[in-house]
Amino acid sequence: MPAELTQQLSRRIAEIGVRGHEKWLFTGSGGLSPHGNTIDYHWTRTVVAAGVEPFKLHDLRHFFASGLIAASCDVVTVQRALGHRSASVTLNTYSHLWPPASCGTCPEFLRTPCGLGPPKPARSPSFRAY
């Protein structure tokens, strides 16, 4: 996301604040979350006014998640930050962003199944069956 847009959003949030006990940025009737179409309408107007390349508000969620993963946050931390009901939901969406164990970011003993090291070759029997 362009730095200019981040700055504009930060200034705007500081001006208008958040609302309701859940601290919504945008609210609908009764201080609850507004309908998705209402959010999209205001977001589109904001992006146009900022003069940046159009992108969806939901893209910020993915940007946030990928930033957490790039900062080495574990799956449960990302799950909780995004409000997913389970780590499975998070992994189904973002597993491709975590580095594989083989990339060198994990200790050596964790790079093998169960951390037990490479499988040992099968031994040939020490007796012969007749």
- Give yes or no: residues 37 and 78 share one domain: no
Residue 106's domain comprises: 56-117
- Give yes or no: residues 33 and 78 share one domain: no
- Give yes or no: residues 90 and 107 share one domain: yes
**Bridge partners, 58 (sequence order):** none
Q: What is the pLDDT along the chain (130 residues), one digit of tens a residue?
A: 678 888 988 898 899 888 777 777 777 877 778 888 888 898 999 999 999 999 998 899 999 999 999 988 999 999 999 999 999 999 999 999 988 766 666 656 555 555 444 555 555 544 444 4
Question: Considering the domain boundaries, does residue 45 fall inside one?
Answer: yes
- Give yes or no: residues 95 and 48 share one domain: no
What is the model's pLDDT at position 113? 52
Number of domains in the chain: 2
Question: Considering the domain boundaries, does residue 107 fall inside one?
Answer: yes
Question: Considering the domain boundaries, does residue 37 fall inside one?
Answer: yes
- Give yes or no: residues 70 and 48 share one domain: no
| Predicted model pTM | 0.57
DSSP letter, residue 85? S
